[in-house]
Chains A and B, each alone.
Chain A
Amino acid sequence: MPRELLKGNVAMAEAAVRAGVEAYFGYPITPQTELLEWMSHRLPELGRVFLQAESEVAAINMVYGAACTGVRVMSSSSSPGVSLMMEGISYIAGTELPVVLIDVVRGGPGLGNIAPSQGDYNQIVHGGGHGDYHSIVLAPSSVQEAIDLTVLAFDLAEKYQAIVVVMADGNIGQMMEPAELPPMLPIKSEYPEWAVRGAKGRDHRILTSIYMNPEDEEKTNLRILERWNKIEENEIRYREYFLDDAEFVVIGYGTAGRVAFSAVRSARAEGIPVGLLRPITLNPYPFAKVAELANQAHAFLVVEMNTGQMLQDVQLAVAGKVPVEFYGRLGGVVPYPDEVLNEIRRISHEPIAVGVDPRRNWMQRLKTEIS
């Protein structure tokens, strides 16, 4: 396929189409709307299902129902809309169904704004709906990666009967880059043995998230956890830049990851031995890789577009071996590479305070910077 200039939202939508999505249910919200808009003409054109629901709550429950039939199904939204979906997501997790959700994260909390943010890391990676479950979370940092990860999301969802969230941000959704779309896959013709598609000539199957007997629910939780263990063993993905001889390690994902990449490249040009780890799976998280880097690095710098949510996962992996510093911009502000470069210069040239929450010092620096 030739490279085309594609907008992130449109690219993710077309990637899902080519991965064989048979039904899309959603509700418009900026900065994700082009995704829904693309689906609104593309899916009917192919004889597949597009439905703009009356709300995100309705949309996710339609996704739930469609997923029970074993077809490839998805929704997409942005932060406040995804919050509304959380009950349905938990029910989907409890019913052990494969579903793909794309979250084009925007500034918050609350109604917030429509600018790019990573403020939903904890919601998507560590929580969201109630009960014991994990979603696989993929974080693209370019339009090409948004395409590739959308296709991967459907494969992983089916392989592990799990929810896969492609967590992008407003930048990834709105920007245009040259990218290559995958070939069109045929709609699948075989369905998993658990799917409910009519019970003529066989015993009925029940798909549910209700287990009134706690022992049955415990078995269900164990079954979900066993799948999760396999996911942790097989599906951790990340990208490394200049890490071989790095004495300082920057960690960032999505847009913050590529901003950090610019800064790391400039710092290398200045002779600073710094590298970048860009997690692609935020769940399962590359804890082992970070722990390994903690044996080689003098210090870490975590860069996010939030108040330090992934920071806590990095701290968990580093386990106090070396200092972990933090730089973030908030509320929809995207950092410029120069800001991150200054932080790299600081951690590589100045002593780092130990024994204090790095967020306290970062907050002081940021308040001075923006005042």
Chain B
Amino acid sequence: MQTEIILSGFGGQGIMFAGQLLAYAAMDSGLEVTWMPSYGPEMRGGTANCTIIIADEEIGSPTVLKPKAVMVFNIPSMIRYEPLVVSGGVLIVNSSLMDREITRNEIKSLKIPANEIAESIGSKRLANMVMLGALITKLPVIPIESLEQALDDHIPDRHRHLLDSNFQALREGSVFEELKLIEETDN
């Protein structure tokens, strides 16, 4: 059994780090994992994506055509990856950065104003953690506590003072998704 997740957006949005955090958390949970970055001639503002595969058995290909889940941070990523999510898969969209409608209706999707939520915590640079919190709640492949532990273990020293804000961002992303689920049930 394996779960493939693609994170995609602009360079500088914390895509690679968010992906590595998933990989660390999966590894520390005793699972197999691969983290495969796009590594073209990338730069800040250019496109960046990474593929994370989490499995309970030996992982073959580190990339897949049709992932189980996709988290997109910009319009080019949305255009590229929305059609590729497997049926019944998960799509998380940062709605702060795009007003595009989600067209697939046989996948589990969520539009989350990740930048606004991040800014309310203190920095829009926490948007990657807000998105990750929402993803991990919609696709519970590893517990959020494992992500928090991975953050504590692997956050770069220069950002350690932001650890609590990162925790909060993860939680707010998670709560946003939970509230959404309750809303859907009420309807």
Interface mask (A244-282 → B, CB under 8 Å = 1, otherwise 0): 000000000001001111110100000000000000000
* B62 adjacent to A337 (CB under 8 Å): no
Interface residue A79 (Cβ < 8 Å from any Cβ of B): no
Interface residue B27 (Cβ < 8 Å from any Cβ of A): yes
Which residue from chain B places its CB closest to the CB of A259 in the assembled complex? B61
* A31 adjacent to B60 (CB under 8 Å): no
Interface residue B116 (Cβ < 8 Å from any Cβ of A): no
Which residue from chain B places its CB closest to the CB of A332 in the assembled complex? B40
Chain B residues closer than 8 Å to A265, beta-carbon distance: 60
Interface residue A70 (Cβ < 8 Å from any Cβ of B): no
Once A3-B27, A5-B24, A5-B27 are accepted as A-B contacts, the answer to whether A338 and B39 lie under 8 Å apart by CB is no
Chain A residues closer than 8 Å to B24, beta-carbon distance: 5
Min distance, Cβ A263 to any Cβ of chain B, angstroms: 8
Q: Once the chains are docked, how many angstroms separate the CA of A163 from the CA of B84? A: 44
Chain A residues closer than 8 Å to B20, beta-carbon distance: 5, 176
Interface stretch among B30-38, B91-99, B103-111, B176-184? B30-38
Once A5-B35, A114-B39, A176-B35 are accepted as A-B contacts, the answer to whether A258 and B60 lie under 8 Å apart by CB is yes
A-B contact count (CB 8 A): 63
Which residue from chain A places its CB closest to the CB of B62 in the assembled complex? A175
Q: How many residues of B contact A (CB 8 A)?
A: 22
Within 8 A of B (CB), among A23-38: 30-31
Min distance, Cβ A4 to any Cβ of chain B, angstroms: 8
- Neighbour of A259 across the interface among B35, B41, B60, B66, CB < 8 A: B60
Interface residue A174 (Cβ < 8 Å from any Cβ of B): yes
* B64 adjacent to A336 (CB under 8 Å): yes
Interface residue B63 (Cβ < 8 Å from any Cβ of A): yes
Interface residue A82 (Cβ < 8 Å from any Cβ of B): no
Interface residue A140 (Cβ < 8 Å from any Cβ of B): no
* A337 adjacent to B27 (CB under 8 Å): no
Chain B residues closer than 8 Å to A235, beta-carbon distance: none
* A334 adjacent to B23 (CB under 8 Å): no
21 residue pairs of the A-B complex, CB under 8 angstroms, read: A5-B20, A30-B39, A115-B40, A170-B39, A171-B36, A171-B62, A174-B37, A174-B39, A175-B37, A176-B20, A176-B23, A176-B34, A177-B34, A177-B59, A258-B62, A259-B60, A261-B60, A263-B61, A334-B63, A337-B61, A337-B65
Beyond A3-B27, A174-B36, A177-B33, 8 additional contacts (C-beta under 8 Å) are A5-B24, A5-B33, A170-B39, A171-B36, A175-B36, A175-B62, A176-B20, A178-B32
Which 7 A-B residue pairings sit nearest by Cβ, starting from the closest? A262-B60, A261-B60, A176-B35, A259-B61, A336-B65, A178-B27, A262-B61
